[in-house]
Amino acid sequence: MKRICVIDGQGGGIGATLIKYLKEAFEESVELIALGTNAIASAQMLKAGANRGASGENAIVHTVGTADLIAGTISIAWANAMLGEVTAKMAEAVMSSPAPK
């Protein structure tokens, strides 16, 4: 089963929308993992239908290495983006992951 990590921050609205459409398109044939830079973003993505979710720097750094695909806004690749919610470690982990983005 393919693992898609959706990363979002702040209110989680863009990530929740991505999850909603990915869930409609792939139903249960993929595992959708919500990775929020904060707990609110993770909660919104879980509400939208993600299979699992986590928040924070360590969760993102650890999980993106196992992803088959990483989805989110372009800002997940920039350190200090989203008003500082994306740390340098997060951005480095996302960009170092072999998964398509």
Please give the chain's pLDDT, 101 residues, in tens.
Answer: 899 999 999 999 999 999 999 999 999 999 999 999 999 999 999 999 999 999 999 999 999 999 999 999 999 999 999 999 999 999 999 999 999 99
What ranges do the domains of the chain cover? 2-96
pLDDT value for 69: 98
Predicted local distance difference test score (pLDDT) of residue 72: 96
d(CA 34, CA 52): 6
Predicted local distance difference test score (pLDDT) of residue 24: 96
Tokens 């806004």, residue?
73
CB atoms inside a 10 Å sphere around CB 75: 20
Helix (H) or strand (E) holding 15: helix 13-26
Topology (CATH) of 2-96: Rossmann fold (3.40.50)
**Percentage of the chain lying above the pLDDT 70 cut:** 100
The pair of three-digit structure tokens given for residue 54, joined into one six-digit string: 């986590």
